[in-house]
Structure 1
Amino acid sequence: MNIPSAADGALDVLLGDYPHTRVLRDGTIPVEDVECRFLTASPLHSAFPRMVRGLEFDVCEMPVATYLLARDAGVPVTLLPAVLIGATHHHSLTRLPDGPDLDPRRLAGHRIGVRSYGQTTGMWVRGILREDYGVDASDVTWVTTEDAHVASYVNPPNVERSPTGAVAALLQAGDVDAAVLGPRAIGVQGIPLVPVIKDAEEAAAAWTERHGTVPANHLLVVRDDVLRSRPDAVTALFRALARGIDETAAERDLTTAAGRAVTAGWSDTLARGLEVAARYALEQGLVSAPVDLARIQKDMAFLEG
Protein backbone atom coordinates (compact mmCIF):
# COMPACT_ATOMS: atom_id res chain seq x y z
CA MET A 1 0.00 0.00 0.00
CA ASN A 2 1.43 3.37 -1.02
CA ILE A 3 1.06 5.64 2.04
CA PRO A 4 0.80 9.37 1.21
CA SER A 5 2.40 12.03 3.36
CA ALA A 6 1.82 15.73 3.88
CA ALA A 7 4.98 17.57 2.86
CA ASP A 8 3.99 20.77 4.69
CA GLY A 9 3.35 19.11 8.07
CA ALA A 10 -0.39 19.83 8.18
CA LEU A 11 -2.74 17.09 9.29
CA ASP A 12 -5.28 16.10 6.64
CA VAL A 13 -8.51 15.49 8.58
CA LEU A 14 -11.73 14.21 7.02
CA LEU A 15 -14.82 14.80 9.15
CA GLY A 16 -18.53 15.02 8.48
CA ASP A 17 -20.45 18.23 9.09
CA TYR A 18 -21.87 18.29 12.63
CA PRO A 19 -22.02 20.99 15.31
CA HIS A 20 -19.13 19.33 17.17
CA THR A 21 -16.91 19.24 14.07
CA ARG A 22 -17.96 22.61 12.72
CA VAL A 23 -16.38 24.42 15.68
CA LEU A 24 -13.02 22.89 14.75
CA ARG A 25 -13.42 23.63 11.08
CA ASP A 26 -14.28 27.31 11.60
CA GLY A 27 -11.60 27.81 14.27
CA THR A 28 -13.99 28.46 17.16
CA ILE A 29 -12.10 25.72 18.97
CA PRO A 30 -8.45 25.67 17.91
CA VAL A 31 -6.26 22.59 17.64
CA GLU A 32 -3.40 23.82 19.77
CA ASP A 33 -0.07 24.16 17.91
CA VAL A 34 -1.26 21.99 15.01
CA GLU A 35 -2.19 23.06 11.49
CA CYS A 36 -5.13 20.99 10.24
CA ARG A 37 -6.59 20.80 6.76
CA PHE A 38 -10.24 19.93 7.33
CA LEU A 39 -11.40 18.12 4.22
CA THR A 40 -14.88 17.15 3.03
CA ALA A 41 -16.43 14.47 0.87
CA SER A 42 -19.86 14.34 -0.73
CA PRO A 43 -21.42 11.98 -0.03
CA LEU A 44 -19.48 11.41 3.16
CA HIS A 45 -19.36 7.62 2.72
CA SER A 46 -17.35 8.07 -0.49
CA ALA A 47 -14.34 8.96 1.69
CA PHE A 48 -14.32 5.70 3.63
CA PRO A 49 -13.04 3.39 0.86
CA ARG A 50 -10.46 6.06 0.00
CA MET A 51 -9.17 5.80 3.56
CA VAL A 52 -9.11 2.03 3.99
CA ARG A 53 -7.85 1.31 0.45
CA GLY A 54 -5.39 4.18 -0.02
CA LEU A 55 -4.88 5.71 3.45
CA GLU A 56 -5.66 9.04 1.82
CA PHE A 57 -6.19 11.02 5.05
CA ASP A 58 -4.19 11.33 8.26
CA VAL A 59 -7.28 11.24 10.46
CA CYS A 60 -10.67 10.16 9.16
CA GLU A 61 -14.20 9.61 10.37
CA MET A 62 -15.04 5.95 9.90
CA PRO A 63 -18.09 3.70 10.36
CA VAL A 64 -17.72 1.03 13.03
CA ALA A 65 -18.23 -1.88 10.64
CA THR A 66 -15.70 -0.45 8.17
CA TYR A 67 -13.17 -0.12 10.98
CA LEU A 68 -13.73 -3.72 12.09
CA LEU A 69 -13.37 -5.01 8.50
CA ALA A 70 -10.26 -2.88 7.98
CA ARG A 71 -8.69 -4.06 11.22
CA ASP A 72 -9.41 -7.67 10.29
CA ALA A 73 -7.75 -7.06 6.90
CA GLY A 74 -4.63 -5.56 8.50
CA VAL A 75 -5.18 -1.96 7.39
CA PRO A 76 -2.77 0.13 9.53
CA VAL A 77 -5.18 2.44 11.35
CA THR A 78 -5.84 2.98 15.05
CA LEU A 79 -9.23 3.75 16.55
CA LEU A 80 -9.74 7.00 18.45
CA PRO A 81 -12.53 6.96 21.07
CA ALA A 82 -14.87 9.58 19.66
CA VAL A 83 -18.40 8.72 18.58
CA LEU A 84 -19.34 11.30 15.94
CA ILE A 85 -22.80 9.92 15.22
CA GLY A 86 -24.88 7.06 16.55
CA ALA A 87 -28.49 5.96 16.77
CA THR A 88 -30.76 3.03 17.46
CA HIS A 89 -31.68 0.99 14.39
CA HIS A 90 -34.88 -0.93 14.99
CA HIS A 91 -36.56 1.64 12.72
CA SER A 92 -33.87 1.31 10.01
CA LEU A 93 -35.44 -1.82 8.53
CA THR A 94 -38.11 -0.31 6.28
CA ARG A 95 -40.76 -1.26 3.74
CA LEU A 96 -43.17 0.50 1.40
CA PRO A 97 -46.40 1.51 3.17
CA ASP A 98 -48.50 -0.37 0.60
CA GLY A 99 -46.18 -3.40 0.59
CA PRO A 100 -46.61 -6.69 2.44
CA ASP A 101 -47.08 -6.35 6.21
CA LEU A 102 -43.89 -8.16 7.23
CA ASP A 103 -43.28 -9.87 10.56
CA PRO A 104 -39.66 -9.39 11.66
CA ARG A 105 -39.73 -12.92 13.14
CA ARG A 106 -40.61 -14.40 9.76
CA LEU A 107 -38.07 -12.80 7.44
CA ALA A 108 -36.25 -16.04 6.66
CA GLY A 109 -36.32 -16.57 2.88
CA HIS A 110 -37.02 -12.89 2.17
CA ARG A 111 -34.87 -10.45 0.20
CA ILE A 112 -33.66 -7.29 1.94
CA GLY A 113 -31.86 -4.41 0.28
CA VAL A 114 -28.83 -2.75 1.89
CA ARG A 115 -26.21 -0.41 0.44
CA SER A 116 -23.46 -2.94 1.14
CA TYR A 117 -23.16 -6.00 3.34
CA GLY A 118 -20.37 -4.20 5.20
CA GLN A 119 -22.47 -1.11 5.93
CA THR A 120 -22.66 -0.30 9.65
CA THR A 121 -26.43 0.23 9.75
CA GLY A 122 -26.86 -3.17 8.09
CA MET A 123 -24.59 -4.75 10.70
CA TRP A 124 -26.69 -3.33 13.53
CA VAL A 125 -29.98 -4.36 11.86
CA ARG A 126 -28.79 -7.93 11.24
CA GLY A 127 -27.64 -8.16 14.84
CA ILE A 128 -31.00 -6.93 16.07
CA LEU A 129 -32.85 -9.43 13.87
CA ARG A 130 -30.82 -12.31 15.27
CA GLU A 131 -30.88 -11.18 18.89
CA ASP A 132 -34.44 -9.88 19.19
CA TYR A 133 -36.32 -11.84 16.53
CA GLY A 134 -34.40 -15.07 15.94
CA VAL A 135 -33.54 -14.42 12.28
CA ASP A 136 -29.90 -15.15 11.35
CA ALA A 137 -28.10 -13.13 8.70
CA SER A 138 -27.77 -16.35 6.67
CA ASP A 139 -31.57 -16.80 6.62
CA VAL A 140 -32.01 -13.75 4.35
CA THR A 141 -30.83 -12.84 0.85
CA TRP A 142 -29.12 -9.45 1.14
CA VAL A 143 -29.27 -7.43 -2.08
CA THR A 144 -26.59 -4.74 -2.27
CA THR A 145 -25.97 -1.73 -4.48
CA GLU A 146 -22.31 -1.20 -3.52
CA ASP A 147 -19.25 -3.22 -2.56
CA ALA A 148 -17.77 -3.16 0.93
CA HIS A 149 -15.37 -0.31 1.64
CA VAL A 150 -12.54 -2.80 2.28
CA ALA A 151 -11.59 -4.09 -1.16
CA SER A 152 -10.40 -7.52 0.00
CA TYR A 153 -13.63 -8.39 1.77
CA VAL A 154 -15.62 -11.21 0.15
CA ASN A 155 -19.37 -11.23 0.72
CA PRO A 156 -21.09 -14.36 2.07
CA PRO A 157 -22.89 -16.52 -0.52
CA ASN A 158 -26.33 -15.19 0.46
CA VAL A 159 -25.40 -11.67 -0.75
CA GLU A 160 -26.36 -10.53 -4.26
CA ARG A 161 -25.04 -7.45 -6.07
CA SER A 162 -27.69 -5.45 -7.91
CA PRO A 163 -26.97 -3.05 -10.79
CA THR A 164 -29.62 -0.74 -9.33
CA GLY A 165 -28.03 2.43 -7.97
CA ALA A 166 -30.18 3.09 -4.90
CA VAL A 167 -31.55 0.87 -2.17
CA ALA A 168 -34.98 2.53 -2.23
CA ALA A 169 -35.19 1.78 -5.97
CA LEU A 170 -34.91 -1.92 -5.15
CA LEU A 171 -38.05 -1.56 -3.04
CA GLN A 172 -39.90 0.36 -5.74
CA ALA A 173 -38.97 -2.25 -8.35
CA GLY A 174 -40.21 -5.07 -6.13
CA ASP A 175 -36.77 -6.70 -6.11
CA VAL A 176 -36.67 -6.71 -2.31
CA ASP A 177 -39.31 -6.97 0.39
CA ALA A 178 -37.60 -4.58 2.80
CA ALA A 179 -34.60 -2.26 2.88
CA VAL A 180 -32.03 -1.13 5.42
CA LEU A 181 -31.66 2.64 5.44
CA GLY A 182 -29.87 4.78 8.02
CA PRO A 183 -31.75 7.52 9.89
CA ARG A 184 -30.49 10.27 7.58
CA ALA A 185 -31.16 8.25 4.41
CA ILE A 186 -34.78 7.47 5.23
CA GLY A 187 -35.80 11.10 4.98
CA VAL A 188 -34.30 11.78 1.54
CA GLN A 189 -35.62 8.88 -0.51
CA GLY A 190 -38.53 10.75 -2.08
CA ILE A 191 -40.93 7.94 -1.11
CA PRO A 192 -42.71 7.24 2.18
CA LEU A 193 -41.30 4.33 4.15
CA VAL A 194 -42.47 2.63 7.32
CA PRO A 195 -40.55 0.47 9.80
CA VAL A 196 -40.93 -3.29 9.49
CA ILE A 197 -40.71 -3.44 13.31
CA LYS A 198 -43.98 -1.80 14.37
CA ASP A 199 -42.92 -1.08 17.95
CA ALA A 200 -39.51 0.16 16.83
CA GLU A 201 -39.11 2.91 19.43
CA GLU A 202 -40.07 0.69 22.35
CA ALA A 203 -37.92 -2.19 21.07
CA ALA A 204 -34.95 0.16 20.60
CA ALA A 205 -35.34 1.53 24.13
CA ALA A 206 -35.35 -2.03 25.50
CA TRP A 207 -32.20 -2.83 23.49
CA THR A 208 -30.30 0.19 24.82
CA GLU A 209 -31.40 -0.55 28.37
CA ARG A 210 -30.30 -4.18 28.05
CA HIS A 211 -26.89 -3.35 26.60
CA GLY A 212 -26.21 -0.08 28.41
CA THR A 213 -25.15 1.67 25.23
CA VAL A 214 -26.38 3.36 22.05
CA PRO A 215 -25.15 1.84 18.76
CA ALA A 216 -22.27 3.93 17.42
CA ASN A 217 -22.24 4.52 13.67
CA HIS A 218 -19.15 6.67 13.04
CA LEU A 219 -16.00 6.91 15.10
CA LEU A 220 -12.54 8.22 14.22
CA VAL A 221 -9.32 6.57 13.07
CA VAL A 222 -5.75 7.73 12.57
CA ARG A 223 -3.12 6.25 10.28
CA ASP A 224 -0.60 4.26 12.29
CA ASP A 225 2.39 6.00 10.70
CA VAL A 226 0.94 9.41 11.62
CA LEU A 227 0.30 8.25 15.17
CA ARG A 228 3.88 7.02 15.49
CA SER A 229 5.44 10.18 14.07
CA ARG A 230 3.06 12.81 15.51
CA PRO A 231 1.32 11.52 18.65
CA ASP A 232 1.19 15.02 20.17
CA ALA A 233 -0.59 16.41 17.11
CA VAL A 234 -3.13 13.57 17.14
CA THR A 235 -3.71 14.10 20.86
CA ALA A 236 -4.24 17.84 20.32
CA LEU A 237 -6.79 17.15 17.59
CA PHE A 238 -8.61 14.61 19.74
CA ARG A 239 -8.74 16.99 22.70
CA ALA A 240 -10.11 19.78 20.53
CA LEU A 241 -12.79 17.44 19.22
CA ALA A 242 -13.64 16.31 22.75
CA ARG A 243 -14.01 19.96 23.73
CA GLY A 244 -16.20 20.53 20.66
CA ILE A 245 -18.45 17.64 21.65
CA ASP A 246 -18.74 18.98 25.18
CA GLU A 247 -19.38 22.60 24.21
CA THR A 248 -22.03 21.80 21.60
CA ALA A 249 -24.06 19.51 23.85
CA ALA A 250 -26.90 22.03 23.88
CA GLU A 251 -27.29 21.55 20.12
CA ARG A 252 -28.10 17.84 20.58
CA ASP A 253 -31.31 16.47 22.05
CA LEU A 254 -29.88 14.51 24.95
CA THR A 255 -33.26 12.90 25.59
CA THR A 256 -32.78 10.89 22.38
CA ALA A 257 -30.47 7.98 21.71
CA ALA A 258 -28.83 9.88 18.84
CA GLY A 259 -28.14 12.84 21.11
CA ARG A 260 -26.63 10.66 23.84
CA ALA A 261 -24.50 8.67 21.39
CA VAL A 262 -22.06 11.51 20.63
CA THR A 263 -19.20 11.19 23.12
CA ALA A 264 -15.43 11.47 23.41
CA GLY A 265 -13.14 9.36 25.53
CA TRP A 266 -12.97 5.72 26.52
CA SER A 267 -15.93 4.75 28.71
CA ASP A 268 -17.90 1.72 29.81
CA THR A 269 -20.62 2.78 27.38
CA LEU A 270 -18.22 2.83 24.43
CA ALA A 271 -16.67 -0.47 25.54
CA ARG A 272 -20.08 -2.14 25.70
CA GLY A 273 -21.02 -0.78 22.27
CA LEU A 274 -17.81 -2.01 20.68
CA GLU A 275 -18.24 -5.39 22.36
CA VAL A 276 -21.71 -5.81 20.85
CA ALA A 277 -20.55 -4.56 17.44
CA ALA A 278 -17.61 -6.98 17.48
CA ARG A 279 -19.90 -9.89 18.35
CA TYR A 280 -22.37 -8.98 15.62
CA ALA A 281 -19.51 -8.62 13.10
CA LEU A 282 -18.20 -12.10 13.94
CA GLU A 283 -21.66 -13.70 13.82
CA GLN A 284 -22.30 -12.16 10.39
CA GLY A 285 -18.97 -13.09 8.83
CA LEU A 286 -17.72 -9.51 8.62
CA VAL A 287 -14.56 -10.46 10.53
CA SER A 288 -12.72 -13.76 10.50
CA ALA A 289 -11.76 -13.92 14.19
CA PRO A 290 -12.93 -12.48 17.52
CA VAL A 291 -12.00 -8.83 17.95
CA ASP A 292 -9.37 -8.11 20.62
CA LEU A 293 -11.10 -5.26 22.43
CA ALA A 294 -8.43 -5.10 25.12
CA ARG A 295 -5.86 -4.44 22.42
CA ILE A 296 -8.02 -1.71 20.88
CA GLN A 297 -8.27 0.00 24.27
CA LYS A 298 -4.54 -0.38 24.87
CA ASP A 299 -3.80 1.29 21.52
CA MET A 300 -5.68 4.37 22.77
CA ALA A 301 -3.52 4.71 25.87
CA PHE A 302 -1.40 7.50 24.32
CA LEU A 303 -4.37 9.84 24.83
CA GLU A 304 -4.08 9.49 28.62
CA GLY A 305 -0.75 11.32 28.81
Structure 2
Amino acid sequence: MKVVLGDYSHSRAVKDLPDHEFVEVKPLYGAFARMVRTLEFDVCELALATYLQARDNGVPVTLLPVVMIGGTHHRSLTRLPDAPPLTPDDLRSRRVGVRSYSQTTGLWVRGLLREEYGVNAADVTWVTTEEPHVARYTEPPYVERSAAGTVVDLLQAGDVAAAVLGPRAVGGQGEGLVPLIEDAEAAGRAWVERHGTVPVNHVVVVRNAVLEEDPGAVDALYAALKAATAGAEPPVAAGWSEQLAKALEIGGRYALEQDLIRTAVDVAEIERGAARWSD
Protein backbone atom coordinates (compact mmCIF):
# COMPACT_ATOMS: atom_id res chain seq x y z
CA MET A 1 0.00 0.00 0.00
CA LYS A 2 1.10 3.56 -0.72
CA VAL A 3 0.73 5.49 2.54
CA VAL A 4 1.20 9.18 3.35
CA LEU A 5 1.60 10.20 6.98
CA GLY A 6 3.13 13.30 8.53
CA ASP A 7 6.40 13.24 10.42
CA TYR A 8 5.60 12.67 14.10
CA SER A 9 6.93 10.30 16.72
CA HIS A 10 3.77 8.20 16.43
CA SER A 11 4.06 7.97 12.63
CA ARG A 12 7.81 7.30 12.54
CA ALA A 13 7.14 4.29 14.75
CA VAL A 14 5.04 2.59 12.05
CA LYS A 15 7.05 3.36 8.93
CA ASP A 16 8.98 0.08 9.00
CA LEU A 17 5.84 -2.00 8.38
CA PRO A 18 6.39 -4.57 5.61
CA ASP A 19 4.29 -4.33 2.43
CA HIS A 20 3.65 -0.60 3.02
CA GLU A 21 5.34 2.09 0.92
CA PHE A 22 5.48 5.30 2.95
CA VAL A 23 5.55 8.30 0.63
CA GLU A 24 7.05 11.55 1.93
CA VAL A 25 5.19 14.72 0.92
CA LYS A 26 6.41 18.09 2.20
CA PRO A 27 4.60 20.17 3.12
CA LEU A 28 2.15 17.45 4.08
CA TYR A 29 -0.95 19.35 2.91
CA GLY A 30 0.38 18.99 -0.63
CA ALA A 31 -0.84 15.39 -0.50
CA PHE A 32 -4.42 16.28 0.41
CA ALA A 33 -5.58 17.46 -3.04
CA ARG A 34 -3.76 14.57 -4.70
CA MET A 35 -5.71 12.17 -2.48
CA VAL A 36 -9.20 13.61 -2.78
CA ARG A 37 -8.94 14.52 -6.48
CA THR A 38 -7.22 11.47 -7.95
CA LEU A 39 -7.05 8.92 -5.09
CA GLU A 40 -3.30 8.78 -5.68
CA PHE A 41 -2.58 7.05 -2.36
CA ASP A 42 -4.08 4.03 -0.66
CA VAL A 43 -4.00 5.49 2.84
CA CYS A 44 -3.48 9.18 3.52
CA GLU A 45 -3.43 11.55 6.45
CA LEU A 46 -6.04 14.21 5.69
CA ALA A 47 -7.14 17.48 7.23
CA LEU A 48 -10.52 17.22 8.92
CA ALA A 49 -12.16 19.89 6.76
CA THR A 50 -10.84 18.21 3.62
CA TYR A 51 -12.25 14.88 4.79
CA LEU A 52 -15.65 16.42 5.50
CA GLN A 53 -15.72 18.09 2.08
CA ALA A 54 -14.55 14.91 0.33
CA ARG A 55 -17.29 12.95 2.06
CA ASP A 56 -19.83 15.63 1.13
CA ASN A 57 -18.79 15.30 -2.52
CA GLY A 58 -18.87 11.51 -2.68
CA VAL A 59 -15.12 10.81 -2.76
CA PRO A 60 -14.82 7.04 -2.10
CA VAL A 61 -12.74 7.04 1.08
CA THR A 62 -13.39 5.68 4.58
CA LEU A 63 -12.26 7.24 7.82
CA LEU A 64 -9.87 5.26 9.98
CA PRO A 65 -10.55 6.33 13.58
CA VAL A 66 -7.04 7.77 14.00
CA VAL A 67 -6.27 11.36 14.99
CA MET A 68 -2.76 12.41 13.98
CA ILE A 69 -2.71 16.00 15.28
CA GLY A 70 -5.05 18.53 16.87
CA GLY A 71 -5.39 21.17 19.53
CA THR A 72 -7.16 24.40 20.38
CA HIS A 73 -6.92 27.36 18.02
CA HIS A 74 -7.53 30.49 20.05
CA ARG A 75 -3.86 31.38 19.47
CA SER A 76 -4.26 31.00 15.72
CA LEU A 77 -6.13 34.27 15.17
CA THR A 78 -3.27 36.77 15.00
CA ARG A 79 -2.04 40.23 13.98
CA LEU A 80 1.30 41.96 13.57
CA PRO A 81 2.79 43.02 16.92
CA ASP A 82 3.10 46.67 15.85
CA ALA A 83 -0.41 46.87 14.36
CA PRO A 84 -3.20 48.81 16.10
CA PRO A 85 -5.02 46.85 18.83
CA LEU A 86 -7.72 44.60 17.43
CA THR A 87 -10.21 42.28 19.11
CA PRO A 88 -12.31 39.46 17.64
CA ASP A 89 -15.36 41.72 17.93
CA ASP A 90 -13.63 44.21 15.62
CA LEU A 91 -13.41 41.73 12.74
CA ARG A 92 -16.88 42.41 11.34
CA SER A 93 -16.49 43.90 7.85
CA ARG A 94 -12.70 43.41 8.06
CA ARG A 95 -10.40 41.35 5.86
CA VAL A 96 -8.70 38.32 7.41
CA GLY A 97 -6.02 36.23 5.72
CA VAL A 98 -6.05 32.43 5.69
CA ARG A 99 -4.13 30.01 3.48
CA SER A 100 -7.34 28.41 2.21
CA TYR A 101 -10.95 28.95 3.22
CA SER A 102 -11.25 25.19 3.69
CA GLN A 103 -8.12 24.95 5.86
CA THR A 104 -9.03 23.12 9.07
CA THR A 105 -7.45 25.69 11.39
CA GLY A 106 -9.68 28.30 9.75
CA LEU A 107 -12.69 26.04 10.30
CA TRP A 108 -12.04 25.92 14.05
CA VAL A 109 -11.20 29.65 14.28
CA ARG A 110 -14.40 30.68 12.50
CA GLY A 111 -16.35 28.30 14.72
CA LEU A 112 -15.08 29.86 17.92
CA LEU A 113 -15.60 33.36 16.50
CA ARG A 114 -19.29 32.67 15.96
CA GLU A 115 -19.72 30.72 19.18
CA GLU A 116 -17.85 33.03 21.55
CA TYR A 117 -18.08 36.44 19.86
CA GLY A 118 -21.12 36.27 17.59
CA VAL A 119 -18.97 36.93 14.50
CA ASN A 120 -20.28 34.82 11.62
CA ALA A 121 -18.16 33.62 8.72
CA ALA A 122 -20.10 35.88 6.33
CA ASP A 123 -19.35 38.94 8.51
CA VAL A 124 -15.71 38.80 7.40
CA THR A 125 -13.97 38.86 4.01
CA TRP A 126 -11.59 35.88 4.00
CA VAL A 127 -8.58 36.51 1.79
CA THR A 128 -6.91 33.28 0.70
CA THR A 129 -3.69 32.38 -1.07
CA GLU A 130 -4.57 28.82 -2.14
CA GLU A 131 -7.52 26.99 -3.64
CA PRO A 132 -9.54 24.25 -1.91
CA HIS A 133 -8.28 20.67 -2.03
CA VAL A 134 -11.67 19.34 -3.19
CA ALA A 135 -11.98 20.54 -6.78
CA ARG A 136 -15.79 20.40 -6.86
CA TYR A 137 -16.17 22.78 -3.93
CA THR A 138 -17.23 26.35 -4.73
CA GLU A 139 -16.24 28.97 -2.17
CA PRO A 140 -18.87 31.39 -0.81
CA PRO A 141 -18.96 35.01 -2.08
CA TYR A 142 -17.25 36.41 1.01
CA VAL A 143 -13.99 34.61 0.07
CA GLU A 144 -11.35 36.27 -2.14
CA ARG A 145 -8.19 34.83 -3.67
CA SER A 146 -4.97 36.85 -3.59
CA ALA A 147 -1.84 36.37 -5.67
CA ALA A 148 0.22 38.57 -3.36
CA GLY A 149 2.24 35.72 -1.80
CA THR A 150 1.84 34.11 1.61
CA VAL A 151 -0.63 34.96 4.34
CA VAL A 152 2.04 36.79 6.32
CA ASP A 153 2.79 38.81 3.16
CA LEU A 154 -0.85 39.93 3.17
CA LEU A 155 -0.49 41.02 6.79
CA GLN A 156 2.72 42.92 6.19
CA ALA A 157 1.27 44.65 3.14
CA GLY A 158 -1.75 45.80 5.12
CA ASP A 159 -4.13 43.94 2.84
CA VAL A 160 -5.63 42.11 5.83
CA ALA A 161 -6.16 43.23 9.42
CA ALA A 162 -5.60 39.79 10.94
CA ALA A 163 -4.64 36.29 9.88
CA VAL A 164 -5.23 32.65 10.72
CA LEU A 165 -1.62 31.71 11.48
CA GLY A 166 -0.88 29.56 14.47
CA PRO A 167 2.49 28.87 16.10
CA ARG A 168 2.90 25.75 13.93
CA ALA A 169 2.06 27.43 10.61
CA VAL A 170 4.12 26.09 7.69
CA GLY A 171 7.33 28.03 7.16
CA GLY A 172 7.21 29.64 10.58
CA GLN A 173 4.83 32.34 9.36
CA GLY A 174 3.19 32.59 12.77
CA GLU A 175 6.39 33.48 14.61
CA GLY A 176 6.21 36.83 16.36
CA LEU A 177 2.53 37.40 15.67
CA VAL A 178 0.19 38.47 18.48
CA PRO A 179 -3.06 36.62 19.30
CA LEU A 180 -6.22 38.72 19.09
CA ILE A 181 -7.77 36.73 21.92
CA GLU A 182 -6.53 37.68 25.37
CA ASP A 183 -5.18 34.75 27.39
CA ALA A 184 -5.65 32.45 24.42
CA GLU A 185 -4.42 29.40 26.29
CA ALA A 186 -7.05 29.79 29.02
CA ALA A 187 -9.72 30.40 26.39
CA GLY A 188 -8.70 27.20 24.65
CA ARG A 189 -8.90 25.20 27.88
CA ALA A 190 -12.36 26.64 28.52
CA TRP A 191 -13.46 25.51 25.03
CA VAL A 192 -12.26 21.96 25.77
CA GLU A 193 -14.03 21.88 29.14
CA ARG A 194 -17.24 23.18 27.59
CA HIS A 195 -17.29 20.69 24.72
CA GLY A 196 -15.68 17.64 26.30
CA THR A 197 -13.26 17.16 23.41
CA VAL A 198 -10.19 18.68 21.74
CA PRO A 199 -10.36 20.03 18.16
CA VAL A 200 -9.07 17.53 15.63
CA ASN A 201 -6.93 18.74 12.74
CA HIS A 202 -5.75 15.63 10.88
CA VAL A 203 -7.32 12.19 10.54
CA VAL A 204 -6.49 9.20 8.33
CA VAL A 205 -8.51 7.87 5.39
CA VAL A 206 -8.29 4.77 3.21
CA ARG A 207 -9.49 4.27 -0.35
CA ASN A 208 -12.65 2.17 -0.33
CA ALA A 209 -11.30 -0.08 -3.09
CA VAL A 210 -8.18 -0.89 -1.05
CA LEU A 211 -10.28 -1.63 2.03
CA GLU A 212 -12.27 -4.12 -0.03
CA GLU A 213 -9.26 -5.69 -1.78
CA ASP A 214 -6.71 -5.88 1.05
CA PRO A 215 -8.38 -5.26 4.42
CA GLY A 216 -5.61 -7.12 6.24
CA ALA A 217 -2.99 -4.58 5.19
CA VAL A 218 -5.21 -1.74 6.38
CA ASP A 219 -5.83 -3.53 9.67
CA ALA A 220 -2.07 -3.98 10.16
CA LEU A 221 -1.44 -0.27 9.66
CA TYR A 222 -4.27 0.64 12.01
CA ALA A 223 -2.96 -1.76 14.70
CA ALA A 224 0.51 -0.21 14.41
CA LEU A 225 -0.91 3.30 14.71
CA LYS A 226 -2.98 2.27 17.71
CA ALA A 227 0.10 0.96 19.46
CA ALA A 228 2.16 4.03 18.51
CA THR A 229 -0.44 6.54 19.75
CA ALA A 230 -1.09 4.80 23.07
CA GLY A 231 -0.60 7.34 25.84
CA ALA A 232 -0.32 10.31 23.44
CA GLU A 233 -1.69 13.70 24.41
CA PRO A 234 -5.32 14.19 23.29
CA PRO A 235 -6.66 14.34 20.71
CA VAL A 236 -3.95 12.12 19.19
CA ALA A 237 -5.31 8.58 19.47
CA ALA A 238 -6.48 5.55 17.54
CA GLY A 239 -9.88 4.01 18.14
CA TRP A 240 -13.44 5.24 18.10
CA SER A 241 -14.27 7.29 21.19
CA GLU A 242 -16.82 9.74 22.53
CA GLN A 243 -14.21 12.48 22.17
CA LEU A 244 -13.68 11.72 18.48
CA ALA A 245 -17.44 11.58 17.89
CA LYS A 246 -17.87 14.98 19.57
CA ALA A 247 -15.04 16.51 17.54
CA LEU A 248 -16.60 15.21 14.31
CA GLU A 249 -20.03 16.49 15.33
CA ILE A 250 -18.78 19.96 16.27
CA GLY A 251 -16.43 20.22 13.29
CA GLY A 252 -19.23 19.07 10.99
CA ARG A 253 -21.64 21.61 12.47
CA TYR A 254 -19.10 24.40 12.05
CA ALA A 255 -18.45 23.28 8.46
CA LEU A 256 -22.17 23.42 7.63
CA GLU A 257 -22.53 26.87 9.22
CA GLN A 258 -19.58 28.13 7.20
CA ASP A 259 -20.78 26.79 3.82
CA LEU A 260 -17.91 24.33 3.63
CA ILE A 261 -20.34 21.42 3.17
CA ARG A 262 -23.91 21.22 1.91
CA THR A 263 -25.38 18.49 4.10
CA ALA A 264 -25.18 17.80 7.82
CA VAL A 265 -22.55 15.31 8.94
CA ASP A 266 -23.97 11.98 10.06
CA VAL A 267 -21.50 10.93 12.76
CA ALA A 268 -23.32 7.64 13.34
CA GLU A 269 -22.81 6.74 9.68
CA ILE A 270 -19.09 7.54 9.96
CA GLU A 271 -18.90 5.35 13.06
CA ARG A 272 -20.57 2.48 11.21
CA GLY A 273 -17.96 2.79 8.46
CA ALA A 274 -15.20 2.55 11.07
CA ALA A 275 -16.85 -0.29 13.00
CA ARG A 276 -14.23 -2.89 12.04
CA TRP A 277 -11.65 -0.93 14.08
CA SER A 278 -13.84 -0.43 17.15
CA ASP A 279 -12.57 -1.99 20.35
Q: TM-score, normalised by structure 1?
A: 0.89
- Corresponding position of 1:86: 70
- Corresponding position of 2:275: 301
Q: Please state how far the C-alpha of 1:154 moved relative to its aligned partner.
A: 0.6
Q: Percent identity?
A: 59
Q: Please state how far the C-alpha of 1:182 moved relative to its aligned partner.
A: 3.4
- Corresponding position of 2:105: 121
- Corresponding position of 2:9: 19
**How many residues were matched structurally?**
279
Distance 1:87 1:220, change over 3 A: same
2:175 and 2:196 map into 1 onto residues whose CA distance is 34
1:147 and 1:17 map into 2 onto residues whose CA distance is 24
2:174 and 2:31 map into 1 onto residues whose CA distance is 25
Distance 1:136 1:236, change over 3 A: same
Q: Which whole-Å deviations, capped at 9, do the CAs of 1:58-95 have from their partners, x for residues lacking one?
A: 00000000000111111111111111000100000000
Matched to 1:63, the amino acid is A
1:187 and 1:64 map into 2 onto residues whose CA distance is 21
1:55 and 1:164 map into 2 onto residues whose CA distance is 31
1:133 and 1:79 map into 2 onto residues whose CA distance is 32
Q: Which of 34, 48, 61 does residue 64 from structure 1 map onto?
A: 48
Checking the alignment, whether the CA contact within 8 Å between 2:165 and 2:173 is kept in structure 1 is no
- Corresponding position of 1:266: 240
Q: Which of 156, 161, 182 does residue 177 from structure 1 map onto?
A: 161
Q: Please state how far the C-alpha of 1:163 moved relative to its aligned partner.
A: 0.2
2:127 and 2:186 map into 1 onto residues whose CA distance is 28
Where does structure 1 lack aligned partners over 5 or more consecutive residues?
A: 1-10, 253-258
Q: Which of 83, 102, 115 does residue 99 from structure 1 map onto?
A: 83
Q: TM-score, normalised by structure 2?
A: 0.97
Instruction: Give the superposed CA RMSD.
Output: 1.4
Checking the alignment, whether the CA contact within 8 Å between 1:68 and 1:278 is kept in structure 2 is yes
Q: Please state how far the C-alpha of 1:245 moved relative to its aligned partner.
A: 1.1
Moved more, 227-236 or 92-101: 227-236
SS in 1 for 2:102: coil
Distance 1:304 1:260, change over 3 A: closer
Checking the alignment, whether the CA contact within 8 Å between 1:115 and 1:166 is kept in structure 2 is yes
- Corresponding position of 1:130: 114
Runs of 4+ aligned residues of structure 1 deviating over 4 Å after TM superposition are none
Checking the alignment, whether the CA contact within 8 Å between 2:166 and 2:174 is kept in structure 1 is no
Where does structure 2 lack aligned partners over 5 or more consecutive residues?
A: none
1:46 aligns with 2:46: no
- Corresponding position of 2:192: 208
